[in-house]
Amino acid sequence: MLNGVVTKSTGSWYRVQTPDGKTVDCRIRGKFRTKGITTTNPIAVGDRVDIELERNQDTGVITKLYNRKNYIIRKSVNLSKQAQIIAANLDQAFLVVTLASPRTSLGFIDRFLVTAEAYDIPAKLVFNKLDLFSDEGLEILADYKSIYENIGYPCFEVSALEGTNIPKLKEEMKDRISLFSGHSGVGKSSLMNAILPELALRTNEISDWSDKGMHTTTFAEMFELPSGGFIIDTPGIRELGVIDIEQQELGHFFPEMRERMNDCRFNNCRHINEPGCAVMAALEDGEIEPSRYESYLSIYNGNDTRS
Ligand SMILES: Nc1nc2c(ncn2[C@@H]2O[C@H](COP(=O)(O)OP(=O)(O)OP(=O)(O)O)[C@@H](O)[C@H]2O)c(=O)[nH]1
Ligand SMILES: [Zn+2]
C-alpha cells in the first residue's frame, strides 16, 4: 500500500503522486462520500489518498480518502443538487487583481475574500500589471494594500510581463497547494506561465483540441513547482466557485468584524443598527474600513458585487 496526493482528476481515473515523486493512474474502489453534499466526483485534485498497486504495477486503485482540510465546489450544470468538487486541501488562494485595465473593484475583492473565509482557505492578493500603473494607480495601490494588510491579508505587487516580484511569489508558493483566481484579463495565465512555463504549453494544447472539435472534458490538474508545492490549473474554473452563506454568519467571514463581535451588546447583533454594536463603534472610530463595511451590507442585502 502507498499513499499520495491526487494531481489529476478526469472523472473516470485519477493520477496519484506518491511522496517519492512517482505517479500512478488509479481507479477507485468502493464509495467515497463527502458529508453534507452530493457530488458528481468523489475524488478531486489535492485529495490525500491510499492506493494499492495492481498486478502489473503501472496502475492502481484508490482505497482510502483522507479527511480534507477544505475544498471548493461548483454546482453541477444540470438542475440536480449535485456539486462538483474542484479541488481539495488548498493552502492558499491568490486573487489576481489589477488597477490598470480592467480595474478590479473593492466590492469584488471583498466578495472573493468572504468566499475564501467561508471555504476556510487563506487568501492573498496579487496586484498585477505593476508596469502599467500611473502615479494615480500607485496611490490607489498603497491605499488598497493598507486596507487589506491591516486586516491580515498578504498583498503582492507584480508584473507578469516584466517579471517583477515573481521570485517573491514563487517563494510564497513553495511547498504549498495554490490556486489563482480573478477576472478575465487581469493576467492569471500570464502570471501562472511566468511561474511555471510548462503551463503555457498545456493551454495551447487545450485550445488546439477545441479547435478540432474534439471532445474536451473539463479535467482538473495540478502541477508541481520545481521548488516544491503545486499550482492548480483547472480550465474554465479559475474561480473559487460558489458557496451559500447565511446572513447571520456573514460577519464571521470579515476578520475585522469577527474579532470584535463578541463585544456587541446583543449576541444576535446584525451590526446594522443595533445599540451597543462593537462593529459600528469600530467603524465610527475609523478602525474598520468604510469600504469593507459597505461590502458587508451589500452582501448581507444580497446585492451582487461581483463585477
Ligand atoms: N502590461 C502588462 N500586461 C499584462 C501583464 N500580465 C498580463 N498582461 C496582459 O493582459 C492580457 C490578459 O492576460 P491573461 O494572462 O490572458 O489574463 P487572464 O486573467 O488569464 O484572462 P482569462 O484567460 O480571460 O481569464 C494579455 O494581453 C496579457 O499580455 C502585466 O504584468 N503587464
Ligand atoms: Zn454588532
Q: What angle do CA 15, 123, 206 make, to 5 degrees?
A: 40
Amino acid at 232: I
User: What distance in Å separates the CA atoms of residue 283 and residue 275, rounded to the nearest whole number?
Assistant: 14
Which of the ligands is closest to the CA of residue 187? Answer: 1
23 against 302, higher pLDDT = 23
| Residue 160 in contact with ligand 1 by CB distance below 6 A | yes
What is the CATH class of 90-233?
Answer: alpha beta
At 164-183, the pLDDT tens digits run 999 999 999 999 999 999 98
Q: Return the number of other C-beta atoms located less than 10 Å from residue 216's C-beta.
A: 13
Q: What is the pLDDT of residue 76?
A: 63
Q: How far is the CA of 51 from the centre of ligand 2 (A)?
A: 49
Please identify which residue in the block is written with the cell numbers 479527511: 67
Dist. CA 280 → ligand 1 center (Å) = 39
Global confidence as pTM: 0.90
What's the whole-number mean pLDDT along residues 119-141? 95
Which ranges of the chain does DSSP label H, i.e. alpha helix?
106-119, 135-151, 166-173, 188-195, 198-211, 255-258, 278-284, 290-300
Q: Report the mean per-residue pLDDT for the chain.
A: 88
Q: Which residue's alpha carbon is at the smallest distance from atom 2 of ligand 1? A: 129
- Domain residues of the chain, as ranges? 2-86, 90-233, 247-300
DSSP letter at 132?
Answer: G
**2-86 and 247-300, same CATH topology:** no
Q: Which residue's CA lies nearest to atom 12 of ligand 1?
A: 185
Q: What is the mean pLDDT of residues 220-237?
A: 86
What mean pLDDT comes out for the span 21-50?
86
Query: Locate cell 506518491: which residue?
Result: 18
pLDDT tens-digit readout, 149-167: 999 999 999 999 999 999 9
Domain 247-300, CATH: 1.10.40.50
Expressed in angstroms and rounded, the spacing between residue 160 Cα and the centre of ligand 1 is 8
How many alpha carbons lie under 13 Å from residue 271 in its C-beta half-sphere?
32
The C-alpha cell of 302 is what? 444580497
Q: What ipTM was reported for this prediction?
A: 0.97
Query: Amino acid letter at 211?
Result: D
Q: Is 184 annotated for ligand binding?
A: yes
Q: How far is the CA of 187 from the centre of ligand 1 (A)?
A: 3
- Could you identify the residue written with the cell 486503485? 61
Q: Is the CB of 123 under 6 A from ligand 1?
A: no
In percent, the amount of the chain with pLDDT more than 70 equals 88
Q: Looking at the domain that runs over 2-86, which CATH code has it been given?
A: 2.40.50.140
